[in-house]
Amino acid sequence: MGKHGKKQSLNHRRGKRTSYTVEDDNEDEIHDYPPTSSAREVALSNSDQESQEDEENQEKEKGFDGTNSGIPSKYSLYQQSVQSPKGDISYLQKFFLMYVGGRAPLHLQEDFCGTALLSVEWLHSDARRTAVGLDLDVEALNWCLENNINRIGADVSSRISLFHGNVLQPLESKLVNGNPLEIMQNMTLEDNEGDSMAGTTNSELQGSPKAVHDTKSLKDVQLPARDIVCAFNYSCCCLHNRKDLILYFKHALNALSRKGGIFVMDLYGGTSSEGALRLQRRFSNFTYTWEQAEFDIIQRKTRISLHFNLHKQHRKIRHAFSYSWRLWSLPEVKDCLEEAGFRSVHFWIRNMPDSEQIRRTDGFSAGRDVKYEEATSFQQQDSWNAYIVGVA
């Protein structure tokens, strides 16, 4: 049977209709060279290598789409190939201590959270920690509930709240899980001294527990003011105009604690980011492809598509994820953060291996020791990654 005859829609899962397709692996388009892009974040550090190994060990145990199809969920594949929550969290802690200090960061908001893997990892390291995740994609949030949150035990899962909505109107977003009352009960008073709660005031904290249960929007739910708000995997590139970017930054600033807090996002760039590019990374059970379309230099826009090729199943999940991105520049982001009201902005950058070079070498060894360094000036490269820290 030909490729199209065997095309299998995966829209039977909970949530909105999925737009990706699974195809027979009968095209010779997978080249076995290591990838870069967001996955290069995972590939280039020692700690990331360890978490990569952990994830590959778990690969057999989890991630199938809940049916008997034998096809792993695209979210599971994404988490294994793209995300690196431990590395991100260690930088978040470092930035908080450097730019705020005086207390341990406990309360995280992960905007554009997708399956909220970072939030779940955040909760594990300290029993006092809470997390809020916000995303537009209810299917990703539902997958998170079933696969990331339901497995972590009530003591951990009671400390996370997931909201479905738009980062440009966060207060209107709807709670899809959790018991915010428990979050409040777990908090000590000094956690919020001098702060108002998100969408409410301290005096309202004494309100009836039932009112908390009955309300479902973020504006009505009582949550601890956040120490850190983050937006990772280049998610701010989903916002295409300056007005929206500033509005989003204002919302992020508003969620942060009056005692001090930080907003952290990541960004990529370099000469190789402004043109078509196709990069792949091989895992034990699948190959991940980052496909970058042509780059529009007037709008600074490109389309990024993520594909997965499943080795054992001889199947491809093409366009598992597809994003229309505006590639912001570092100074544009700095200007917008300042305009939104952040007190200072810091860049932490690392050079990435040339995309040409890593086509011919092992992605797990190339540049692994390169760490992020704070920079006020950085010469253009083929490829770089940056954390941008806005201090409230």
Ligand X SMILES: C[S@@+](CC[C@H](N)C(=O)[O-])C[C@H]1O[C@@H](n2cnc3c(N)ncnc32)[C@H](O)[C@@H]1O
Site for ligand X (CB under 6 A): how many residues?
18
Minimum CB separation of residue 115 from ligand X in Å reads: 7
CB-CB contact of 325 with 301 (8 Å)? yes
Site stretch for ligand X (CB under 6 A), options 8-16, 45-53, 107-115, 383-391: 107-115
Cα(141)–Cα(134) distance, integer angstroms: 9
Minimum CB separation of residue 135 from ligand X in Å reads: 4
Say whether residue 99 binds ligand X (CB under 6 A).
no
Q: To which residue do tokens 């997965």 refer?
A: 308
Say whether residue 235 binds ligand X (CB under 6 A).
yes
Which residue lies nearer to ligand X by CB, 192 or 325? 325
Say whether residue 166 binds ligand X (CB under 6 A).
yes
User: Residue 178: helix, strand or coil by DSSP?
Assistant: coil
Q: How many CA atoms lie within 13 A of 208 on its CB side?
A: 4
Which residue lies nearer to ligand X by CB, 239 or 345? 239
End-to-end CA distance of the chain: 59
Considering only 20, 122, 143, 232, the residue that binds ligand X (CB under 6 A) is 232
Considering only 152, 156, 168, 205, the residue that binds ligand X (CB under 6 A) is 168
DSSP 256: B
Which residue lies nearer to ligand X by CB, 285 or 322? 322
- Span 109-128, contacts to ligand X by CB under 6 A: 112-114
Considering only 100, 167, 175, 391, the residue that binds ligand X (CB under 6 A) is 167
Which residue lies nearer to ligand X by CB, 92 or 140? 140
Which residue lies nearer to ligand X by CB, 112 or 263? 112
Say whether residue 265 binds ligand X (CB under 6 A).
no
Which residue lies nearer to ligand X by CB, 167 or 277? 167
- Span 74-93, contacts to ligand X by CB under 6 A: 82-83
330: enclosing H helix or E strand = helix 330-340
Exposed, middle or buried: residue 208 (CB in 10 Å: 0-12, 13-18, 19+)? exposed
170: left (phi over 0), alpha (psi -120 to 50) or beta: alpha
Closest CA to 161 of 113, 128, 200, 203: 113
Which residue lies nearer to ligand X by CB, 22 or 117? 117
CB-CB contact of 160 with 116 (8 Å)? yes
Which tokens hold the place of 338? 């300042």
- Span 131-150, contacts to ligand X by CB under 6 A: 135-137, 140
CB-CB contact of 389 with 262 (8 Å)? yes
Q: Which residues bind ligand X (CB under 6 A)?
A: 82-83, 112-114, 135-137, 140, 166-168, 232-235, 238, 323
